[in-house]
């Protein structure tokens, strides 16, 4: 009975389920509403494209109810708020301000049920491609006859030719280069005039707006040798011993007339050569082993050789007058003093010393800046510690870094016994009245400043222009002492050397280089020349005493002559034991960086041994008879970028040549 009841219950349940299913299938019963889906986001994925070619990215968002959507948009992690969505769910995101590089766009949409959908795309913006810079050379001869012109030409190519910079050099492009112009289509040409030696022309072009590419090319020109022409008459004033063919240029002079620049003129101007009887001189700072004064019998020796364009002067660096070595004792003959000067100086383009030293090659602060007519180097004003040696000597300031003092004629010796002038140097033309007991110690600079005639030449700057003594001619031809146009800056004393001075145009008679263009006894038609100066236009100290800069093109290599003396003037380690009196046992510690060994150049008791001057083979001077370039007026980009320095290890940062 119990089982029958269970069966009946199951049957009734099945019947009810079946009835419901039939009602759903065949009768009009209300259905369940559909489920709300999350938003759907689709959009552009640009990948990589060139800058400027795509300004926006389009995205479409779909949902059952667009009005209730919450949308977050970020571009490179920055929130984008200034967007509009249209009725179809379309959105345009502005990317026109984006730079080159990788970028990311992220979008998140929330519907009213807070259902979330995320969409993102990464893309890259790149620069448009640029072709490489190239130099293409035309076909042209690279072998020319002596004295003829060389021609080279070609084309510079690049997708943006206006972005190109083109340079050339006949040396090292890293040291010196000139701009090489080219036309709008990239064509260029270069003329090398009056070629007299083989030369290698280097060219370099760099182009690009977004990407810089560089190309370079080298052209080697060979010059066929040609017979050397000149004056072949040994009796002529301008006899050229190297000349193979006479060119009719021989010049002759009367016995009473000496032509400026001739062999006889140089024999007259230069001292201590073979045409003079030179007597031995003494270093007043030397003593013998007993401490008694020692006569050194130093002999000033000089020789010179002329060629078509240059003079080479070889000297032993000893003066023709007694001297005082000073703390750097003791002066000795030098084996490496060789100076090469142009016979016809050439003015530097862009150098106008009447206004300033800008554009002019500056003379070294220390080390040789010129050579005196007795073969002794003329140094810049600064001493080893860095101050103005002359200002210190005259009491403008007290030197507390290293003992420095100047002897006769404001000169002394430095490391290696190299004797040199810092000022004056006119004593080389002075002679003691021995009959009245005078010695070189009686030399008075005033006697060179108050003469009634134009001073003689005392030296030559490395550009070939002469340096005269204190006295010159004014515009009326009357003699006067020439004055400097430099003065100490307000509150300065010369303790910091050259940096303590400033040029004031018109303050004195001379320009920024300490020179002037006017007639002289040797050049009655006029020549640019320098003067030694003792006072400026206001009567104060006459810095720079010889020269500050070069009006002419400086002959390379002269600043290095005499480097055997060591790293510049007034070695801070000089004056120590065993013979010095600047530092050592019982005096004080050595300067920083100096050891306790003896200083260069020896000490008391040293008497220099005179070494004979042997005139070496006259090498062809640098750039002698070299290329005359038709583009010389163009700016030098690197060659004169520095103050010429005899001793780079001690020179300060220079004021370079302006371009």
Preceding omega of 544 cis (within 30 degrees of 0): yes
Using 50, 70 and 90 to split pLDDT, how confident is the model at 591?
Answer: low
Please give the Cα distance from 378 to 475 (Å, whole number).
28
Count of Cβ atoms closer than 10 Å to residue 371 Cβ: 28
Answer with the residue of higher pLDDT: 565 or 447.
447
Using 50, 70 and 90 to split pLDDT, how confident is the model at 14?
Answer: low
Tens of pLDDT, residues 110-143:
998 899 999 999 999 999 988 999 999 999 999 9
Q: Which residues make Cβ contacts (< 8 Å) with residue 2, sequence separation at least 6?
A: none
Residue-level pLDDT at 43? 92
Q: Would you say 166 and 203 are in contact if contact means Cβ atoms under 8 Å apart?
A: yes
Residue-level pLDDT at 622? 31
Residue-level pLDDT at 639? 32
Q: Residue written as tokens 């970020």?
A: 74
Residue-level pLDDT at 254? 61
Q: Would you say 367 and 654 are in contact if contact means Cβ atoms under 8 Å apart?
A: no
Using 50, 70 and 90 to split pLDDT, how confident is the model at 565?
Answer: very low
CA distances from 83 to 80, 93, 94, 110, 415 (A): 7, 7, 8, 17, 79
Answer with the residue of higher pLDDT: 632 or 36.
36
Please give the Cα distance from 87 to 242 (Å, whole number).
99
Q: Residue written as tokens 């078509």?
A: 308
Q: Which of 306-310, 556-560, 607-611 has the highest mean pLDDT?
A: 306-310
Residue-level pLDDT at 636? 31
- Give 409-428 as a DSSP string: GGEEE-GGG-EEESS--GGG
Preceding omega of 276 cis (within 30 degrees of 0): no
Please give the Cα distance from 572 to 563 (Å, whole number).
16
Q: Which helix (H) or strand (E) holds 26?
A: helix 2-26
Q: Which helix (H) or strand (E) holds 20?
A: helix 2-26
Please give the Cα distance from 474 to 455 (Å, whole number).
13
Tens of pLDDT, residues 447-472:
889 888 999 999 999 999 999 999 99
Count of Cβ atoms closer than 10 Å to residue 22 Cβ: 10
Tens of pLDDT, residues 596-655:
443 333 333 332 222 232 222 222 233 333 333 333 333 333 333 334 433 333 332 332
Answer with the residue of higher pLDDT: 337 or 607.
337
The structural domains of the chain, ordered by start, are 40-126 (2.60.40.10), 134-224 (2.60.40.10)
Using 50, 70 and 90 to split pLDDT, how confident is the model at 68?
Answer: confident
Tens of pLDDT, residues 244-262:
788 888 877 665 578 898 8
Tens of pLDDT, residues 404-427:
999 999 999 988 899 999 999 999
Q: What is the share, in percent, of the chain residues with pLDDT greater than 90?
A: 57
Count of Cβ atoms closer than 10 Å to residue 625 Cβ: 17
Q: Which residues make Cβ contacts (< 8 Å) with residue 103, sequence separation at least 6?
A: 75, 76, 95, 122, 123, 124, 125
Count of Cβ atoms closer than 10 Å to residue 567 Cβ: 20
Please give the Cα distance from 99 to 123 (Å, whole number).
12
State the alpha helices, DSSP H only, in 323-429.
389-393
Residue 472: Cβ-neighbour burial (10 angstroms; 0-12, 13-18, 19+): buried
CA distances from 188 to 156, 159, 179, 636 (A): 8, 17, 11, 19
DSSP-derived 3-state class of residue 558: helix
388 DSSP β-pair partners: 382
């Amino acid at each position: 009975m119990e089982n029958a009841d269970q069966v009946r219950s199951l049957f009734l349940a099945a019947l009810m389920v079946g009835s419901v299913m039939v009602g759903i299938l065949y009768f009009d019963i209300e259905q369940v509403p559909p489920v709300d889906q999350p938003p759907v986001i689709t959009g552009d994925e640009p990948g990589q494209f060139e800058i400027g070619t795509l300004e926006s990215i389009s995205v479409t968002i779909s949902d059952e109810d667009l009005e209730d959507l919450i949308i977050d948009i970020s571009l490179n992690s920055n929130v984008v708020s200034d967007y509009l969505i249209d009725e179809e769910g379309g959105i345009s995101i502005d990317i026109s301000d984006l730079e080159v590089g990788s970028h990311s766009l992220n979008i998140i949409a929330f519907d009213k049920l807070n259902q979330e959908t995320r969409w993102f795309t990464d893309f890259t913006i790149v620069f448009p491609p640029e072709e490489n810079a190239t130099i293409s050379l035309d076909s042209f001869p690279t072998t020319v006859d002596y004295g003829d012109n060389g021609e080279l030409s070609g084309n510079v190519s690049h997708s943006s030719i206006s972005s190109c910079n083109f340079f050339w050099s006949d040396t090292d492009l890293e040291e010196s280069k000139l701009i090489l112009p080219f036309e709008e289509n990239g064509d260029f040409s270069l003329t090398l005039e009056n070629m007299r030696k083989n030369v290698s022309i280097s060219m370099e072009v760099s182009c690009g707006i977004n990407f810089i590419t560089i190309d370079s090319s080298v052209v080697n020109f060979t010059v066929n040798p040609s017979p050397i022409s000149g004056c072949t008459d040994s009796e002529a004033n301008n006899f050229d011993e190297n000349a193979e063919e006479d060119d009719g240029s021989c010049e002759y002079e009367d016995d009473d007339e000496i032509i400026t620049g001739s062999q006889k003129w140089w024999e007259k101007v230069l001292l201590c050569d073979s045409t003079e009887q030179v007597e031995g001189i003494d270093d007043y700072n030397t003593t013998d082993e007993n401490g008694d004064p020692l006569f050194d019998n130093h002999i000033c020796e000089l020789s010179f050789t002329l060629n078509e364009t240059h003079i080479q002067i070889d000297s032993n660096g000893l003066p023709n007058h007694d001297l005082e070595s000073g703390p750097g004792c003791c002066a000795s003959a030098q084996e490496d003093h060789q100076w090469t000067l142009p016979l016809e100086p050439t003015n530097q383009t862009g150098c106008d010393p009447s206004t300033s030293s800008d554009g002019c090659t500056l003379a070294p602060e220390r080390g040789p800046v010129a050579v005196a007519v007795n073969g002794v180097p003329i140094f810049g004003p600064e001493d080893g510690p860095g101050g103005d040696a002359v200002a210190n000597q005259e009491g403008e300031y007290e030197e507390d870094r290293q003992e420095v003092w100047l002897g006769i004629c404001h000169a002394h010796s430095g490391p290696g016994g190299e004797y040199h002038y810092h000022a004056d140097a006119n004593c080389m033309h002075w002679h003691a009245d021995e009959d009245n007991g005078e010695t070189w110690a009686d030399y008075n600079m005033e006697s060179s400043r108050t003469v009634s005639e134009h001073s003689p030449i005392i030296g030559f700057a490395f550009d070939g222009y002469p340096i005269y003594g204190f006295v010159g001619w004014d515009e009326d031809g009357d003699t006067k002492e020439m004055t400097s146009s430099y003065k100490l800056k307000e509150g300065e004393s010369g303790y910091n050397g050259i940096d303590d001075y400033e040029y004031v145009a018109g303050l004195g008679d001379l320009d920024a280089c300490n020179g002037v263009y006017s007639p002289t006894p040797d050049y009655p038609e006029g020549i640019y020349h320098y003067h030694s100066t003792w006072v400026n236009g206001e009567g104060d100290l006459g810095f720079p005493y010889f020269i500050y800069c070069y009006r002419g093109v400086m002959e390379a290599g002269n600043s290095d002559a005499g480097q055997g003396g060591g790293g510049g003037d007034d070695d801070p380690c000089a004056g120590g034991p065993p013979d010095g009196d600047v530092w050592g046992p019982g005096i004080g510690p050595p300067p920083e960086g100096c050891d306790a060994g003896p200083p260069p150049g020896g000490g008391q008791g040293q008497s220099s041994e005179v070494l004979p001057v042997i005139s070496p083979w006259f090498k062809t001077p640098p750039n002698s008879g070299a290329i005359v370039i038709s583009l010389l007026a163009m700016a030098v980009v690197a060659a004169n970028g520095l103050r010429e320095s005899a001793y780079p290890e001690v020179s300060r940062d220079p004021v370079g040549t302006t371009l």
